Amino acid sequence: MLARGLSHSARFSHSSKKRFNFTTRVRASHSTMALNYPRPIEINPSGPHTSTFIMLHGLGDTGDGWSDIGYMYKASLPGTKFIFPHAPRRPITLNFGMSMPGWYDIASLEDIQGGEDGAGLRESQRYVEELIQREIAAGIPSTKIVIGGFSQGGAVALMMLRSSIQLGGVVALSAYVPLHKEQPLVSEANSKTPIFMCHGDADQTVAFEFGRRSYQMLLSLDANVEFQTYLGMAHSACQREFDDVLAFVKPILV
């Protein structure tokens, strides 16, 4: 059973959602178990493909939980392809060691940046870079690719700032900078990459303070980062936040 208060998902409903059974298999460097990556959900652009938005879900969720933003944004971003990956199932310490979809292991919500699963985070970064390289191979400039994520997915999105691939932008919802003691947090390639962080001040899962401190950390590095607070919002998402994300990504992706 999922530990109480652990669900890091923002759920929507859409009748056209479907899952794929194609899997990519990799061997985790820190474990003897193989990580299986189900094929991501993809929503193709309504016009010529000129940009890509990759959105990563939170712990215990799947790409289905966020795929509706592709339909929500489609009219405003007609040339954008939306990709919603599914995290592999892995044992989660916080969930009493039981397996569930997760981008990395996590042991505590109280000390979310203590004892982090560096190997899991770096593996997730590698996988997202693989998705990015596929888009580049399809003719999309890396500067027309935005990586977004919620909760755990947002932490992985912020990990992508370390990549040698120059990104168009990074969106982190209810998240924090992982492995913050490992430098550099931002690569030279992404020193000017626009970053949009959003957090509810009533979040009791990924504490608002973690998000605020992460923003200040990036700001101290002269990163191109913006932080938006949503009063009274818990560990979830709201329509105003979706509107703000669209306003942020549209100049990058169009």
* Residue of 8, 203, 214, 236 marked catalytic: 203
* Residue of 151, 174, 214, 236 marked catalytic: 151
Paired with 171 in beta bridges are 148, 196
Active site residue 164: no
Contact 155/126 with Cβ under 8 angstroms?
no
User: What values do phi and psi take at 248, rounded to 5?
Assistant: -75, -45
Who's near 222: CB < 8 A, 6+ residues apart? 191
Contact 37/26 with Cβ under 8 angstroms?
yes
* Residue of 57, 86, 199, 235 marked catalytic: 235
| β-bridge pairing 225-230 and 41-43 | unpaired
Active site residue 57: no
For the four alpha carbons of 187, 191, 193 and 196, in that order, the dihedral sign comes to: positive
- The whole-angstrom separation of Cα 165 and Cα 161 is 9
Q: Can you list the alpha helix ranges (DSSP code H) found in the chain? A: 68-73, 118-137, 152-159, 208-220, 239-253
Who's near 190: CB < 8 A, 6+ residues apart? 160, 161, 162, 163, 166, 167, 170
Active site residue 220: no
For residue 137, give the 3-state DSSP assignment.
helix
Q: What is the DSSP letter of 105?
A: -
Q: Which residues are catalytic?
A: 151, 203, 235
